[in-house]
Amino acid sequence: MAQCKVWLDNYNTGQYFPGSQIQGKVVLNFTSETKCRSVKLRLFGLEHTEWTTTEEYTEPGSNERRTRDITIEGNNEIFSTELILYGAQTGTTTLSAGQHIYPFNLNLPIEIPASYNNEYGSVLFKLISIVDRPMAFDYKDEVIFLVASLIDLNHLRKPELLESTSYSDDKTVCCLCCAQGPITMDVTLPKRTLVPEETVNVSVRMSNLSNTNIEGVELKLKQVINCSVTTPQRDSKTINNTIIHLKEVGLGAHGENTYVFPVKLPSNSPIPNFTLCQLFKVHYKYTVTAVLPGVHSNLEVEMYPEIGNIEIGHQAPFGGYQPPPVTTYPVAQPSYPPAGPGYQQYPQYPQGGNPSQNYQDPALPPYGAPPPGVYPSAGAFPPPATMPSFTGYTPKAQEAAGYPSAPPAMPPAQLPPSYDSIEK
């Protein structure tokens, strides 16, 4: 009987940030001596997309064309790191019966995306502990954790985005083949950037020289997310989220008016960061619309702002923010196998209490941590338990063929929700 678990010691805030240090330990419990190559830890950043579509095919033995459902998907490894905690890549060694604890410290890369999930896929981060056993199935455990990655507009290196920009369009309304005067729309955007809780006043000057009334003037800010798949064929899906929708009264025939739309991005607006992602892309679009009656098509002006968390000319916060209150979870006293040969030389769980209390106190959030309530926001990504698992590695089929599976794990202790695991 064997047990392999990953524990995170500094995940009290429920999220990490780019450059964060991940502190934890791999805990192994064996009832007998176990042969292995190594005990190692893998850290991944993964993106996965998947949906079902239809394809046409020809029925064998006939020329009849039919359709069937197929699953298409995309997988991309954003980054990966491997750390050997015991043993080596080659050769074999043994682990004695009893408990073995291997503390670890890993740093996330500075430039990584944020955790994300939607109906077509996800961006997730995963730690996997592996007891690499020759000629047998490995013992494994994994934990999925959240990463909050802010978008710093300074990285665009485009100071001209802070300059005022004007856009215009016009159309001529026709009635019974007789052209009327033009309807003109001039839109002035003070700057082409936007961050949460900031208000940008968009000015719209309307000139209606036609005989047709304008029923209303509207402004929408949309978030457009593109999701792609690559296997067995390329395809894409688009998600349109309306973040802001403002309306003003219309304008009568032969009239003029200037409208001012105060655009304020709510603090809880999800702003996904897809840095280094190949399967997910996002852009934003302003659409100002003059709504015309009947069969007349509306007059629209579109603009494409850059939206992020840190404005051009501002700096990311370097600490100074207090972490949110830590939620404590009851941890049941685990039951482990009796000590075997060599067992006493390894650290043991204390009698009663949290097994991690003998380790260093959790560190405060690293630099770049947002102030409470700014980001990540509700809806930006779900808790880890709801995220679909991504299979990035296959079993060692050649070695494992004809060998029994790993023995069943011991009854799991009642662990905090963040310690989801796979027990062999």
For residues 81 and 76, what is the distance between their CA atoms, to the nearest angstrom?
A: 15
Token pair for residue 323?
Answer: 């972490």
What is the number of residues in the chain? 424
Mean pLDDT across 244-266 = 96
Residue 87 DSSP SS3: strand
301-317 b/e (C-beta count within 10 Å ≥ 16 → b)? bebebbbbbbbbeeeeb
Q: Does position 37 have pLDDT exceeding 50, yes or no?
A: yes
Q: What share of the chain is helix, strand, coil (3-state, %, to 5)?
A: 5, 45, 45
pLDDT in tens, 332-345: 333 333 333 433 33
- What amino acid occupies position 360? Q
pLDDT in tens, 302-319: 999 999 999 999 887 644
- What amino acid occupies position 190? P
Low-confidence winner among 6-20, 180-194, 388-402 (lowest mean pLDDT): 388-402
Low-confidence winner among 175-189, 220-234, 275-289, 382-396 (lowest mean pLDDT): 382-396
- Work out the number of other CB atoms within 10 angstroms of the CB of residue 65: 9
- Work out the number of other CB atoms within 10 angstroms of the CB of residue 17: 21
Nearest to 166 by CA among 183, 191, 187, 193: 187
61 falls in which pLDDT band (50, 70, 90)?
confident
Bridge partner list, 302: 287
For residues 285 and 366, what is the distance between their CA atoms, to the nearest angstrom?
A: 33
Strand extents, DSSP E, 88-136: 93-95, 98-107, 116-118, 121-132
**pTM value > 0.85:** no
Neighbouring residues of 77: CB distance < 8 A, sequence distance ≥ 6? 44, 45, 46, 392
Domains in the chain (CATH in brackets) are 2-150+316-400 (2.60.40.640), 153-307 (2.60.40.640)
